Chain A
Amino acid sequence: MNANPTFAAASAQPGTTAPAAISITGLNKHYGAFHVLRDINLQVASGEIVVLCGPSGSGKSTLIRCINHLEQHTSGQIHVNGTLLTSRAEDVASVRRQLGMVFQSFNLFPHMTVLDNCTFALRLALKMSAKEAECTAREYLEKVRVIEQAAKFPTQLSGGQQQRVAIARALCLQPRIMLFDEPTSALDPESVGSVLRIMEDLAQTGITMICVTHEMGFARRVADRCVFMEGGQIIEEALAETFFTAPASDRLKNFIDQVL
């Protein structure tokens, strides 16, 4: 499903020859007595685009939040490019360096301009000079087509523009893997398109992506593989085309009937 030939080769056989960017084995997560994630096993190959879908409360967001340790898993293992994620600060830092995250509610820094939102981590986490950071930030703001808003504050932007800034902010740090947690769920239909286009462009670059989304059209066009979750479990995972045309389980069939 991908126009980029070098990338298409890697994605044609997910998880077989390409090294695993993310490897999750036997993952469990409890909130007190509530068992949110049950025995999750998921391999994501380098360069692969994976869409997580499923009804609300199925644990999709919790799963990707576990990958960058915003949530702590109860048992099981998460490897990110070979690094085992533990609660040690060095491991968390090393894993987060490889991951970019985009949130449903954008989570921009409200008191900083668009440009400062992007340069903030470059200066503090990567110790770039102010000039270098601005240069990098402008490059990515251009890519997500909000460069003309660079001097404005987040509240002065539309939702779609804010989300594109959030994407640029994450990309500035050149992560190898991007996590998207329902990036378009808080947007009006027009803005949804502008954000999805950016994500489609991004998918062409060979970056690894895991997206939690209800945009089934996007999943079908862009994803290499789709994963269906319900009740904290992975019910079914399949190559994108098979997922929509020949779902194996009744639950996925029902879900697809409802959302398409």
Chain B
Amino acid sequence: MHFDMQVAWDSLPKLLAGLGNTFTVLVPVLILGLLFAIPVALGRLKPGARSLPATIYVSVFRGVPSLVLLYLIYSGLPQFPIVRDTFLWTFFSNPYFCAWLGLALTHSGFMAEIIRGALAAIPPGTIEAAQTLGLTPRQILFRLRLPMAARYALKAYQNELLIMVKSTSAVSAITIIDLTAAANTVFDYTYDPFTPLLTAAAIYWCITNAIRLGCSAADRKFNRHLVRQ
């Protein structure tokens, strides 16, 4: 295995362009995944059979590999005339839309469980106190339960975030040239199998560590009440 500094340097523009596409996929996925996950997490906390739809959602989207899901959305759905012959085609013919949808569904399955666990960890007495202070259920959810849950979830969210950064490489299967795919194209014309991949790995490493530092800073800010001074 050898690393060619010149190849690494020359391929950098291509890799950074790929990195741009990685972020174009990643950011909407994180936002959409979070938005999908909150109602699912609340659904999971409903008593008895009423939690069933949310449970099915989680089991499906955590269970299906994201690669398979991307293929099904990008190549499978257009088999149906209702997708191919209506306004839906505007969306489903776009690989980015399919990537956002597919990865957001997977991401939301995992996020729903993180949020559910965090909501369940809130001491019931805290919520009772808010009730006796005259807050409405809606205020209690948005102003107390979700902010507290976000603090509890921060560590688990960091894990999920780092996994998502690297899972985005699945989108090369539906024609998007992300960072990993860009490294593969460099291999195609240099015949150097290791240098572009190692360079891409180094870029991933920088991103994930930046996220780690960001999460630590957020933890210090939002969970400072847990530190005895």
Contact = CB atoms under 8 A, between A and B. Distances in A.
Contacts of A154: 225
Nearest to A93: B134
Interface stretch (A7-15, A47-55, A95-103, A234-242): A95-103
Given A103-B125, A153-B224, A155-B228, A111 B148 contact: yes
B132 A96 contact: yes
A96 B126 contact: no
Contacts of A70: 128, 131-132
B135 A156 contact: no
Contacts of B123: 105, 107
B50 interface: no
Interface in B141-155: 143-144, 147-148, 151
A55 B224 CA distance: 40
A225 interface: no
A154 B126 CA distance: 13
A107 B126 contact: yes
A66 B174 CA distance: 59
- Of B125, B126, B129, B226, which is in contact with the most chain A CB atoms at under 10 Å from its CB? B129
A169 interface: yes
B139 interface: yes
Interface string A104-133: 010111111000000011001110000000
Interface string B111-136: 00000000000010110111111111
B88 to A, nearest CB: 41
Interface in B208-226: 222-226
B229 interface: yes
B134 A153 contact: no
Contact of B128 (A103, A120, A124): A103
Nearest to B137: A89
Interface residues of A, number: 29
B224 A100 contact: no
Interface string A155-181: 110000000001001100100000000
B132 A109 contact: no
Contacts of A96: 131-134
Nearest to A153: B225
A68 interface: yes
A247 to B, nearest CB: 33
Nearest to A125: B134
B131 to A, nearest CB: 7
B227 to A, nearest CB: 8
Contacts of B225: 110-112, 153-155
Contacts of B128: 70, 103, 107
A124 B135 contact: yes
B126 A110 contact: yes
Interface in A13-54: none
Contact of B133 (A112, A120, A156): A120
A168 to B, nearest CB: 12
Interface of B: 123, 125-126, 128-136, 139, 143-144, 147-148, 151, 222-226, 228-229
Given A111-B225, A121-B134, A169-B133, 13 more contacts: A97-B134, A107-B123, A107-B126, A107-B128, A108-B126, A109-B126, A110-B126, A110-B148, A111-B147, A111-B223, A120-B133, A121-B133, A124-B135
Interface of A: 68, 70, 93, 96-97, 99-101, 103, 105, 107-112, 120-121, 124-126, 153-156, 166, 169-170, 173
List 4 A-B pairs, minimum CB-CB distance, nearest first: A121-B133, A153-B225, A107-B129, A125-B134
20 contacts: A68-B132, A70-B132, A97-B134, A105-B123, A107-B123, A107-B125, A107-B128, A108-B126, A108-B129, A109-B144, A111-B223, A112-B225, A120-B143, A121-B135, A125-B135, A126-B134, A155-B228, A166-B129, A169-B129, A170-B133
